[in-house]
Structure formats: C-alpha cells, structure tokens
Amino acid sequence: MLLINCPFCKERNETEFVYGGPVGVDRPDPNAVADQEWVDFLTLVPNPTGPVFEKWWHARGCGEWFVICRDTVTHEILESPDEKS
Amino acid sequence: MRKYSVAAIVREALRYNAGWERAWRSPEPKKQYDAVIIGAGGHGLATAYYLGKNHGIKNVAIIEKGWLGGGNTGRNTTIIRSNYLQDSSAAIYEKARSLYETLSQELNYNVMFSPRGVMMLAQTEHEIRGYRRTAHANNLQGVETEFIDPKTVKKLCPIIELSGPRFPVLGALWQPRGGTARHDAVAWGYARACSDMGMDIIQKCEVTDILKSNGKVVGVETTKGVIKTHNLGIIVAGNSSILAEKAGFRLPIESVSLQALVSEPVKPCMDVVVMANTVHGYMSQSDKGEMVIGGGTDGFNNYTQRGSFHHIEETVRALIETFPIISRLKMLRQWGGVVDVTGDRSPIISKTPLEGCFINCGWGTGGFKAIPGSGWAMAETMANGSPSQLASAFSLDRFREGRFIDESVAAGVAH
C-alpha cells in the first residue's frame, strides 16, 4: 500500500486516493492535428518500467488533484508533487 | 521423444525410473531462425506449436527472459470459459476452449483439463439483465451457456449462501463446459511438443534490442548474442510496452498487477468454478484441495508482481458473505502477475508498423483460457503475414478506426 504525499494533507493512505492515470501529452486541438496524432492522444499513455508521472485525486480527503512521480517497479515516490505541477 | 503411456509407466517402474528423459532440450541459440518468438509463456509456446503443426515452420526459437511459464502462465487462477458477449471474442475463446478439450491427447501431456462448469453469479438486477443478454448472444454464437435460477445455483454449489444481506444470489450465467486446467502443464506440454519438433526454447535469455533495417525486422539482440530472423512474434504480456518501444512503435496498453491467493488444502467441497463479479472475486477448488481465489487488479499501473494488500482484503471480505464456510480458512500464499490491459479489455493480435514483426498482447486479466486459440490465430497471422480470420478483429488498427470490441462493461469480465 502506498503512502501518498498530498500537497495539503501530507502523507495519507492510498485508500483515500483515486488514481487518475499516467500524465500523457496535453490535449491537442482535434481540428489542427493529423488524425494519427489525435488517435495517439486518445489511446496512448506512458507505460514505462521505472519513474512515471501520474495524476492522483484525494477524493476521500481534501479533493485536490495533483501529480506525483512514482517508480512502477519499486513503488518509490520520487519527487514531491509541488516540484512537478 | 518417448511417448508417455501406461506401458511407459510399467517399463520405468521395472527399471527404477531411470529411463525418463528431459521433457525439452535447453540448447544454445543458433545464428538464424525462420521465426523467433519472444516470450515462452503459454501464448508464446502455443504460437510456436501451431506454427510447426499447422504451417510447417519448425526452424523456430522461443526466447524467454526468465524461466518457461514463469510469468502470468504460472500465476493465474486457471479458469477456462468462453461466455463472452461479442462475436469476435466468443469465437477465439470458444476455439481455445474446444482445443483444451483434446489438448492432453494431442500433446501427449496431461494438462488436467477439468470441464467442471463455470458459473458467474448475478447479484444485482443489472447483472441478471446483462447475463440473460450474454446467454442469448452465446446461443447465437454456438457457445453453450444458460441463465440459471438461484435454486439450481444452490444445487450445483451447495456451500453458497443465497440470501446474503448485501449480495444475494439472484441467478447465474452457467457454462457447463467451462472449467479449469493445470496451468504449468499447459506450458510444459506445449514446450515438450515444440522441442520435439526441433524448436529451440532458450531460457534465461533477455532480448535487449530489436534489430531493424529499412522498416523491416532483421533480428534480435539478446544477452546470448544476436539472433537473426525476418519473422518476429512479441508475446510478452505485461512487458509488451517495453518491447514495442524497442521495435519503434507504441501500444495502447497499461500494465497493472493482478493478484490471487490460495488457502490451505481442505476436503472437496466445491466442484464448480464460481465467479462473483459484483464483488470482484472468484473461487474454485484445486485438485490438491486448496481454494484458489482470484482478486482484483491494483488501482494503479505497476510492474511489481505482488499487488496491494487492501485489494485482497476487499475480495476476501466479500467472498466470505457468499461462502460463509470459508471464513476460518487460512490463506497459504498470495502472489501477483503483471497483466497488460487495453482500453476495450480485448486482446491485440496484429501486424505492427515494423514489417515482419507481429504482436500478441492485451489479454489483460484473462489470458490463460485463451492460450490454444491465441496461439492458433497468432501462428496463422505470422505464417501468412496477414491477420487470420480469428484474429482480424483484434488488429491494432481498431484503435484508430474506433472498432472497439467492448467487453469491459458488456460480458461480465471480472475486472
């Protein structure tokens, strides 16, 4: 189980949070980009072994959305959310 | 290869079992193969087997980073069923299920297929409607399933508690020809048959790079040197994204840990497989007597092969309400496997942007049941260079074209 560092509530139990998925690219304007780029935005997310930036929602807490950097192999949370978002 | 038979057992009994040979060879890799398959799990070995058997391609290497069948093939809960809603899924899973029926005879290796029946409990009104619909769809697809009432559920599985306060059993989708098989034996049986055809199974050999030239695959670089080939199959489940990146393309896959656990062995008390999807748990009894319990996936992507504790707690807590009899059972082991999940919860069997390179992945939380069908379809795709009929709906293009095979909400998959 993870201890996740919420920017407001500090370290809290994983069960208080809802996972929002890895951070992908920013949403492009669908009319301005090629089809492939739009499809890539819709379907592809980073799925590395090692550090990945991901969104979490402190749903059963303060309600804040934030980004953390977590190692997908060791579960280690590498940077504090403030440094990234 | 010596055949396994009653005569062989008698013969070996008379000479102190000294004559049994190794089930498969462990050779050093050759310089070049007609086809190379990365990943010696069930799907990889089945693909190699049908490449040799159905298409006559026998100069094949199967490369494995760890040991044979040590990934998700050795970590699943061994359930076999084919009661899917969509036609293309039902076709490939039913192909697999029907191949399982004669697999032991075909491979001359006892995979212990036990068609004991699988029931998926309906515990809400919505599930009743969903499963009735699936039963109708299955009848049209030629898959034998039926919707049964609570009384029949109790008759088939006496240890079940029908009137649980939170999760009453309102009926079930029953597939009498579903069941279980010995997961390791499936990998071992295919490996033995592949080795017998002259294929090389190379274990403890990690692929470090995929070699390309002019948009075509020309080989793989491994920890045991370069192996040349023009026909490459990537069948590595949870690690698909990593190898796809080496091959120069990306996949719509997320990897997540899925866990399972087994109890101490008890006397036979349950001769069917029961899945309870509302509470995300399923249970069957192994031949050793252990209750095999499948839990949920972790709430976030990871490659850890262990799984979060609170997911087990949720699964077991809910199962105890449906099976009060297990409340004092001690759990012996818990483990996790890294599963590769696609957006529509359906697999990918496809050509890739790299010519000569094929991929079979995305089986997510339910790949074991599909092993023979998946291998059959993947072998056909690799041998012909174009998708087989069974595999055509599962191409990578479907994500661009919006042809999703939507099983995640439709067919009561357990996750």
What domains appear along chain A, each with residue ranges and CATH number?
A: 3-24+35-79 (3.30.2270.10)
- Other Cβ atoms within 10 Å of B19 Cβ, number: 11
Q: Do B400 and A39 touch (CB under 8 A)?
A: yes
d(CA B45, CA B339): 18
CA distance B201 to B192: 10
**Phi, psi angle pair for A66, to nearest 5°:** -155, 170
Beta carbons of B400 and A73 less than 8 Å apart:
no
Examine the pLDDT at B415 and tell me if it is beyond 50. Answer: no
What's the pLDDT tens digit per position in B238-284?
Answer: 999 999 999 999 999 999 999 999 999 999 999 999 998 887 788 99
Tally DSSP H helices, then E strands, for chain A: 2, 6
Q: Give B315→chain A minimum CA distance, Å.
A: 15
- Dmax over Cα atoms in chain A, in whole Å? 42
> What is the rounded CA–CA span in Å between residue B109 and residue B280?
33
Over chain B, what is the mean pLDDT?
93
- Could you report the per-residue pLDDT of B324-356, keeping only the tens digit for each? 999 999 999 999 999 999 988 899 999 999 999
| B111: its two tokens | 């995979």
Q: Which domains does chain B have, with CATH numbers?
A: 24-78+183-252+346-410 (3.50.50.60), 111-179+255-342 (3.30.9.10)
Euclidean distance between CA atoms B276 and A48, whole angstroms: 32
By Cβ distance, the residue of A39, A42, A72 closest to B301 is A72
The whole-angstrom distance between B413's CA and the closest CA on chain A is 21
The ipTM (two decimal places) reads 0.88
| DSSP codes of every residue in B82-119 | ---SSHHHHHHHHHHHHHHHTHHHHHTS----B---EE
* Angle (CA) B83 B314 B183, round 5°: 45
pLDDT digits (tens, 9 = 90+) for B101-116: 999 999 999 999 999 9
Using CA atoms, how far apart are residues B278 and B300, in angstroms rounded to an integer?
A: 20
Residue B308 reports pLDDT greater than 90: no
- Tell whether A37 is within 8 A of chain B (Cβ): no
The SS3 call for residue B43 is: helix
Tokens read off for A28 = 């492009």
Q: For position B278, what pLDDT does the model report?
A: 81
Indicate yes or no: CB of B303 within 8 angstroms of CB of A73: yes
Q: Would the CB atoms of A43 and B301 count as touching at under 8 Å?
A: no
The answer to whether A35 contacts B400, with C-beta atoms less than 8 Å apart, is yes
- From CA A59, how far away is CA A42, in angstroms rounded? 24
Indicate the SS3 state at residue B234.
strand
Cβ neighbours, 10 Å, residue A30: 11
* Residue A44 contacts B where some CB pair is shorter than 8 Å: yes
- Of residues A36, A47, A73, nearest to B253 (C-beta): A47
DSSP per-residue string spanning B136-180: HHHHHHT---EEE-HHHHHHH-TT--TT-SSS---EEEEETT-EE
Query: How far apart (Å, rounded) are the C-alpha atoms in residues B342 and B339?
Result: 10
The CA-based dihedral angle spanning residues B165, B130, B89, B189, taken in that order and rounded to the nearest 10 degrees = 30
pLDDT band at B357 (very low <50, low <70, confident <90, very high): very high
| Angstrom distance (rounded) from CA B152 to CA B148 | 6
Q: Which of B250, B308, B400 sits opposite A1 (nearest CB)?
A: B308
**Taking CB atoms and an 8 Å cut-off, how many pairs form between chains A and B?**
55
Alpha-carbon torsion, ordered B334, B337, B343, B346, to 10 deg = -100
Q: Round the CA-based radius of gyration of chain B to a whole number and report it.
A: 21
Name the average pLDDT for chain A: 89
pLDDT value of residue A80: 53
Q: Which residues contact A34 (CB under 8 A, 6 or more apart)?
A: none
Which residues in chain B are closer than 8 Å to A52, comparing Cβ atoms? 301
Chain B contact for A54, CB < 8 A?
yes
- Of B250, B301, B303, which is closest to A44 when you measure between CB atoms? B250
> What whole-number distance in Å separates Cα of residue B399 and Cα of residue B392?
13
**Distance (Å) from the alpha carbon of A46 to chain B's nearest alpha carbon:** 8
- Reported as a pLDDT band with limits 50, 70 and 90, residue B167 is confident
Q: How far is CA B165 from the centre of its chain?
A: 34
Nearest by CB to B303, which of A42, A43, A72? A72
Structure tokens at A42: 């819709």
Of B242, B300, B304, the CB nearest to A19: B300
CB contact under 8 A, A73 and B252: no
Mutate to test the interface with B, among A2, A47, A60 (most CBs of B within 10 A): A47
Annotate B247-296 with three-state secondary structure: HCCCCCEEEEEEEEEEEEECCCCCCCEEEECCCCEEEEECCCCEEEEEEE
